[in-house]
Chain A
Amino acid sequence: MNDLFSKFDPLIEQREALLNTGVTDPFNLVMERVESPTVAICNGRRTILLGTYNYMGMTFDPDVIAAGKKALDEFGSGTTGSRVLNGTYGGHKAVEQALKDFFAVDHAMVFSTGYQANLGIISTIAGKDDYIILDIDSHASIYDGCAMGNAQIVPFRHNDIEALEKRLKRVPEGAGKLVVLEGVYSMLGDIAPLKEMVAVSKANGATVLVDEAHSMGFIGEHGRGVAEAQGVIGDVDFIIGTFSKSVGTVGGFCVSNHPKFEILRLVCRPYVFTASLPPSVVATAATSIRKLMDSADKRAHLWENSKRLHAGLRQLGFKLGTDEPQSAIIAVIMPDLETGAAMWDALLNEGLYVNLARPPATPAGMTLLRCSLCALHTEEQVGEILGMFAAAGRATGCIS
């Protein structure tokens, strides 16, 4: 009999070979205790967290925690139902209102995860005979949204404005066009030239969707993302985001000013055919989002952290994903998976957690040590982090 799992054999072998070198499994780490947004206990050791996307450090905010506990007491542990049946509580409407206030838009729709937000919106709004034109480095949730729908999918080279424009111009007359972009690309931490790309898309009659998962709360005057920072948020038709990064819990959303937006609640399958978020989760999200509106000082400190880490790593001799820090993600480029895993292991032994990222998640087959900073990392911690990188880098021969 044909074993359906034989297609995974190459990956199983690669994984065994990697673990046989003696490194800790980078994809099986357990956080035994979490002390704060920046510190956890892993393998009994106090570990600085530098790979959590917890950009604004809201996970232990006292007001956020209190809101969650109150909702747990008053509304119970879960809704056990879909948003369109028994799963919409006051808290779900309250978090959607918080999003509308945060982004200053007319409509907000909350999904159970950020992945489902992209999956649902993209697969629903682009139908047969429509064209989705997307950056080749788009997140898996965007590709999966494309695969779930039946539009024509046309990728273009990463951040290439001219490549986008050429494809827009070639779409057959009369076909619908959806351009899908991200504010911050999470692998290398680089941002998109949204000002130019949104202008080109609009000039060619396209609808524009921007995923601001890694920029919300941090980038832009009000923390609305890269489109706000580049002055084009008014021309973006749909913004997708998540509660699992700056907001500090779990969930996803889409905000829009489209006049017919609310119909999506009835036709978007990843919204309809799943249970809604627990009351405690939407309560923590709403509280966190409202606090993020007024977090200019934290945003400024996060930028300082990002600049300091970027400059420090470069000075040590590491190769980084961007020449200048463009977001709160700093990607350290490793020569190969083996070296990357050894470096990751050495950092963990020093007491530092970063993300080990490898293909197919990464572009161009790269292995990355991806660092994401938090507004609550102190100046002292960033110094400690640089010391750990220096020691681990020398021990593994990544730097001299």
Chain B
Amino acid sequence: MSDRQQSLAKVLELVEPFNKKGIAVSESTRFAQDLEWDSLTVLDFVANIEDEFDVIISMNMQAEIETVGQLVDTLGRLNA
């Protein structure tokens, strides 16, 4: 697997505990509209991502991230 695929796999794994509706999650899944996460869920999820990838995803950056794929792209840039 490429680095990006590995990141995607990890992100999908970390989404699952918060996937309350049990929807099929892909790169195009949107956090707010599709997963219907509230701010506390976002905080917990982002904390898990930050711990896993050892990065900071500030609220400024979160505002630009709408989909799973965009998050994976951001992680790629942060770890580059």
Using a CB–CB distance below 8 Å, which chain A residues touch chain B? Answer: 131, 136, 146, 152-157, 163, 166-167, 170-171, 363-365
Q: Which of B47-63 contact A (CB under 8 A)?
A: 47, 50-51, 54-56, 58-61
B40 within 8 A of A: yes
Which residue of B40, B44, B51 is within 8 Å of A166 (Cβ)? Answer: B51
The 9 closest A-B pairs by CB, nearest first: A152-B58, A153-B59, A170-B56, A154-B58, A153-B58, A136-B43, A152-B60, A154-B56, A364-B40
| Residues of B with C-beta under 8 A to A170 | 50, 54-56
The docked-state distance in angstroms from the alpha carbon of A193 to that of B30 is 36
**Given A166-B51, A365-B38, do A152 and B56 touch, yes or no (CB 8 Å)?**
yes
| Residues of A with C-beta under 8 A to B40 | 136, 363-364
| Residues of A with C-beta under 8 A to B50 | 166-167, 170
B57's nearest neighbour on chain A, judged by CB, is A154
Distance in angstroms from A171 CB to nearest chain B CB is 7
Which residue of A155, A163, A171 is within 8 Å of B59 (Cβ)? Answer: A155
| Residues of A with C-beta under 8 A to B54 | 170
CB pair A154 B59 closer than 8 Å = yes
Using a CB–CB distance below 8 Å, which chain B residues touch chain A? Answer: 38-40, 43-44, 47, 50-51, 54-56, 58-61
CB pair B47 A171 closer than 8 Å = no
Given contacts A167-B50, A170-B55, 5 further A-B contacts (CB under 8 A): A136-B39, A156-B47, A163-B47, A166-B51, A171-B56
Distance in angstroms from A196 CB to nearest chain B CB is 19
| Residues of B with C-beta under 8 A to A156 | 47
The docked-state distance in angstroms from the alpha carbon of A131 to that of B57 is 11
The docked-state distance in angstroms from the alpha carbon of A166 to that of B40 is 18
Distance in angstroms from B69 CB to nearest chain A CB is 23
Distance in angstroms from B37 CB to nearest chain A CB is 13
The docked-state distance in angstroms from the alpha carbon of A271 to that of B58 is 28
Distance in angstroms from A166 CB to nearest chain B CB is 7
| Residues of B with C-beta under 8 A to A171 | 56
Q: List 21 A-B contacts (CB under 8 A).
A: A131-B56, A131-B58, A136-B40, A146-B59, A152-B58, A152-B60, A152-B61, A153-B58, A154-B56, A154-B59, A155-B43, A157-B43, A157-B47, A163-B47, A166-B50, A167-B50, A167-B56, A170-B50, A170-B54, A170-B55, A170-B56
Distance in angstroms from A177 CB to nearest chain B CB is 11
The docked-state distance in angstroms from the alpha carbon of A163 to that of B55 is 13
| Residues of A with C-beta under 8 A to B59 | 146, 153-155
| Residues of B with C-beta under 8 A to A131 | 56, 58
B59's nearest neighbour on chain A, judged by CB, is A153
| Residues of A with C-beta under 8 A to B56 | 131, 152, 154, 167, 170-171
The docked-state distance in angstroms from the alpha carbon of A155 to that of B61 is 12
The docked-state distance in angstroms from the alpha carbon of A360 to that of B61 is 22
| Residues of B with C-beta under 8 A to A166 | 50-51
Most chain-A CB neighbours within 10 Å: which of B38, B40, B51, B54? B40
